[in-house]
Amino acid sequence: MANVHILIAYASKFGCTAKCARVLKEKLKEAEVTVVDLSNGHPDNLAKYDAIVVGGPVYAGKLLAPVQKFCEENEDTLGAKRLALFLCCGDGGRYEAYLNDCFGQRLREHAVACEHFGYEYHMEKMGFIFRTVVRLVARVKHSESHILESNIARLAGKLL
């Protein structure tokens, strides 16, 4: 498996998705894995990867902008690759609907695996407005971490 090269492309506002990307990399030990934060620019030459994982967090029902842009600009390439998708979102009940809204039906149906990796709220990292939104909408008062390791492991298993 060492000659299998996997790209994990993600973006993260407060670190949850970044943490999930690192955990996923650990679970893909048998492969060569490159992790790219799309906030710092897009990776070049997607052709060199055997598989691509794209993941991002949901804010106000939308995929974080750098991930959305990456999917839109590379839809044809991603639609022809071995592909896996993941979301971090606080509302697990809307995860299925978010998958289609965020990645589009084409990529969703093409993906060999789609998973909800859980969510975190880092109240100490948020400004006043975000903290207030989270308190009022999600009814969360303190920082919380609910990363779903078993879902991360399941996605890794389907990819290898």
Ligand X SMILES: Cc1cc2nc3c(=O)[nH]c(=O)nc-3n(C[C@H](O)[C@H](O)[C@H](O)COP(=O)(O)O)c2cc1C
Nearest to 105 by CA among 95, 97, 115, 113: 97
Stretch that binds ligand X, among 43-51, 70-78, 102-110, 125-133 (CB under 6 A): 125-133
57 is a contact residue toward ligand X (CB under 6 A) = yes
Output the CA torsion sign for 37, 41, 44, 47.
Answer: positive
86 is a contact residue toward ligand X (CB under 6 A) = no
120 is a contact residue toward ligand X (CB under 6 A) = yes
Half-sphere exposure of 111 (CA within 13 A, CB side): 22
CA 43 – CA 61 distance, rounded (Å): 26
Candidates 35, 37, 50, 59; binder of ligand X (CB under 6 A) is 59
58 is a contact residue toward ligand X (CB under 6 A) = yes
Please answer whether residues 13 and 130 qualify as being in contact, where contact means their C-beta atoms are separated by less than 8 angstroms: no
Minimum CB distance to ligand X smaller for 54 or for 88: 88
Minimum CB distance to ligand X smaller for 51 or for 64: 64
CA 87 – CA 89 distance, rounded (Å): 6
74 is a contact residue toward ligand X (CB under 6 A) = no
141 is a contact residue toward ligand X (CB under 6 A) = no
Stretch that binds ligand X, among 22-30, 32-40, 43-51, 114-122 (CB under 6 A): 114-122
Looking up tokens 């994990």 gives 8
Please answer whether residues 120 and 146 qualify as being in contact, where contact means their C-beta atoms are separated by less than 8 angstroms: yes
101 is a contact residue toward ligand X (CB under 6 A) = no
Stretch that binds ligand X, among 9-17, 24-32, 76-84, 107-115 (CB under 6 A): 9-17
CA 96 – CA 145 distance, rounded (Å): 21
Minimum CB distance to ligand X smaller for 82 or for 122: 122
